[in-house]
């Protein structure tokens, strides 16, 4: 079945109808036929005909520069002689059971386009954010506006919720999809939602930009074949206790049904550890990238199940090379009707996005997307100039304060650590409860606490240096005294 892989790749799969049911688990293998660059259509047709005459199944992958043909079935050795046919460059035996997902015949990384967002193949780390479940129009619109403002590239939201308990909130159904689509359209974000029923593919195609197959349905083969018929990309989550090979075989079902736009997701697996909801297997990211050309993203929300752990594990996922991060965000996490313990509040999501932007800049500081420059309005430029001036004065004042702290330390006895906790607390309280401004007392306390910590660091460094000097002087004095006594 033809499938569009996006405007940049022009990729499609064509399957010959042989009437055979090949089961790769029972010995099915594959041979890859690589055609020469510029091979004529007649040469391609002749190779396909020769394969068909052997009773084997073929598919054709049309790339930008060359055409690759796959031969699937038992006894592919029967077509090794085709290497001498006109237009054939080489033949490669594929050893992995997942043929289309394997990078053996697709060494370049695949980029999947979701709406106008590219995921994978070196694109900036995609951030998919939104509520676990769509609960109301107000909730989903508020979340969409916030995550868009903070820099998310896609929006997530569950309308059909497969829950462990039949009494838990099951989602708003089609109405939830409509609300999600409305929110995405308003802020300009592509949307993704989980599909649970093969019969809903057409409905999902109407409202979402990417279909998600959840962990519990990773091996729902009827569903995998159904989403393989969709023209929309598929986000495939790893099963709760599934191996990496099982995840790739699940992806193979989608790919072989004609949909080449598959994104994998590591969302944690079930282990004997009970401190977290699941064990987020970040090692799966580089392992998967060694085995397949498909993009891989990380879900630290389900991977940990605890709000404080989401932010560090999201950054860790980006650091290990994930193509994207999917995060649950809610206006008021404690009142969320689904996964409240792992959903981030709006400010927490903002902090996470700051961390991811810092990581992305360190990863690719000279990348084009990191150098986009838009001339600001005159008023904004003036305000930024004032900020730069204030920052310079702050830096100078902090340095001056540290110098004074060092001077205070030098007035103390050598054995005095110099940490006056009472005065430190008094200074922090004074800063926190000063004149009202845009900063909260908690934020002022954080800032002043950091200033006190760097001052203490400077004091320790000075004390250590003084102690080293004093020790050296004492050693020389002792040595001189000893030499004098000896004489």
Across the range 158-177, mean pLDDT stands at 93
| Residues 155 and 300 reside in one and the same domain | yes
CATH code of residue 257? 3.20.20.70
| Residues 193 and 318 reside in one and the same domain | yes
| Residues 346 and 468 reside in one and the same domain | no
The whole-angstrom distance between residue 476's C-alpha and the CA centroid of its chain comes to 59
- Integer Cα distance of 160 and 156 in angstroms: 12
CATH code of residue 462? 1.20.59
Please state the domain count of the chain.
3
| Residues 118 and 198 reside in one and the same domain | yes
- Integer Cα distance of 274 and 268 in angstroms: 13
421 has a pLDDT exceeding 90: no
| Residues 243 and 265 reside in one and the same domain | yes
| 346 lies in some domain | yes
Question: 């089961």: which residue's tokens?
Answer: 23
| Residues 394 and 357 reside in one and the same domain | no
| Residues 198 and 128 reside in one and the same domain | yes
| Residues 346 and 456 reside in one and the same domain | no
Boundary residue ending a domain (94, 122, 146) = 94
Boundary residue ending a domain (370, 398, 413) = 370
Q: Contact at 8 Å (CB) between 138 and 125?
A: no
Q: What is the mean pLDDT of the chain?
A: 87
| 100 lies in some domain | no
The whole-angstrom distance between residue 191's C-alpha and the CA centroid of its chain comes to 16
| Residues 311 and 190 reside in one and the same domain | yes
| 15 lies in some domain | no
Structural domain that includes position 456? 378-475
| 481 lies in some domain | no
For 433, how many CA atoms within 13 A lie in the half-sphere containing its CB?
Answer: 6
Q: What is the pLDDT of residues 238-261, one digit of tens each?
A: 999 999 999 999 999 999 888 999
| Residues 315 and 349 reside in one and the same domain | yes
Boundary residue ending a domain (338, 370, 402) = 370
Q: Quick one: pLDDT band at residue 13, thresholds 50, 70, 90?
A: very low
237 has a pLDDT exceeding 90: yes
CATH code of residue 61? 3.30.70.1140
| Residues 191 and 267 reside in one and the same domain | yes
- Between the alpha carbon of residue 162 and those of residues 169, 208, 279, 338, the distances in Å are 9, 18, 20, 11
End-to-end CA distance of the chain: 101
| 11 lies in some domain | no
Q: What is the pLDDT of residues 85-97, one digit of tens each?
A: 999 998 888 778 8
Q: What is the pLDDT of residues 341-367, one digit of tens each?
A: 999 999 999 999 999 998 888 777 555
Q: What is the pLDDT of residues 14-70, one digit of tens each?
A: 333 333 333 444 344 478 888 898 899 999 999 999 999 999 988 777 655 678 788
| Residues 60 and 146 reside in one and the same domain | no
414 has a pLDDT exceeding 70: no
Between 76 and 64, the higher pLDDT residue: 76
Q: Quick one: pLDDT band at residue 297, thresholds 50, 70, 90?
A: very high
| 69 lies in some domain | yes
| 17 lies in some domain | no
| 261 lies in some domain | yes
């Amino acid at each position: 079945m033809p499938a569009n892989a996006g405007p940049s790749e022009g990729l499609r799969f064509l399957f010959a109808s042989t009437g055979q049911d090949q089961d790769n688990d029972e010995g099915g293998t594959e041979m890859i036929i690589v055609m020469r660059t510029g091979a004529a259509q007649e040469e391609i047709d002749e190779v396909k005909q020769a394969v068909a005459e052997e009773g084997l199944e073929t598919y054709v992958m049309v790339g930008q520069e060359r055409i690759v043909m796959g031969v699937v079935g038992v006894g592919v050795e029967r077509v090794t002689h085709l290497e001498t046919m006109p237009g054939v460059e080489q033949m490669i035996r594929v050893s992995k059971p997942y043929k289309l997902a394997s990078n053996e015949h697709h060494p370049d990384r695949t980029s999947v386009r979701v709406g106008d967002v590219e995921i994978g193949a070196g694109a900036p780390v995609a951030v998919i954010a939104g509520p676990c479940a769509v609960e109301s129009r107000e909730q989903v619109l508020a979340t969409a506006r916030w995550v868009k403002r903070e820099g998310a590239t896609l929006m997530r939201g569950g309308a059909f919720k497969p829950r462990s308990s039949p009494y838990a909130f099951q989602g708003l159904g089609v109405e939830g999809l409509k609300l999600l689509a409305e929110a995405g359209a308003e802020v300009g974000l592509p949307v993704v939602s989980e599909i649970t029923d093969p019969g809903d593919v057409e409905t999902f195609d109407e409202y979402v930009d990417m279909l998600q197959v959840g962990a519990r349905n990773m091996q729902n083969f009827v569903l995998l074949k159904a989403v393989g018929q969709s023209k929309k990309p598929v986000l495939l989550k790893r099963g709760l206790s599934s191996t990496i090979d099982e995840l790739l075989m699940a992806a193979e079902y989608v790919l072989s049904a004609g949909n080449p736009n598959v994104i994998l997701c590591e969302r944690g697996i079930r282990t004997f550890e009970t401190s977290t909801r699941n064990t987020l297997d970040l090692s799966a990211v580089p392992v998967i990238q060694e085995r397949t050309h498909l993009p891989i993203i990380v879900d630290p929300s389900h991977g940990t199940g605890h709000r404080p752990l989401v932010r560090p594990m999201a950054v860790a996922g980006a650091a290990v090379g994930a193509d994207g991060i999917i995060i649950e965000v809610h206006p008021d996490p404690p009142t969320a009707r689904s996964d409240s313990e792992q959903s981030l509040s709006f400010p927490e999501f903002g902090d996470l996005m700051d961390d991811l932007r810092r990581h992305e800049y360190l990863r690719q500081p000279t990348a084009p997307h990191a150098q986009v420059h838009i001339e600001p309005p005159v008023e904004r430029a003036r305000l930024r100039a004032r900020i730069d001036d204030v920052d310079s004065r702050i830096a100078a004042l902090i340095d001056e304060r540290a110098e004074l702290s060092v001077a205070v330390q030098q007035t103390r006895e050598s054995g005095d650590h110099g940490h006056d906790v009472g005065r430190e607390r008094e200074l922090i309280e004074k800063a926190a409860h000063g004149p009202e401004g845009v900063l909260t007392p908690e934020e002022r306390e954080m800032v002043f606490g950091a200033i006190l910590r760097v001052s203490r660091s400077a004091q320790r460094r000075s004390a250590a240096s003084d102690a080293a000097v004093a020790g050296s002087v004492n050693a020389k004095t002792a040595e001189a005294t000893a030499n004098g006594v000896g004489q």
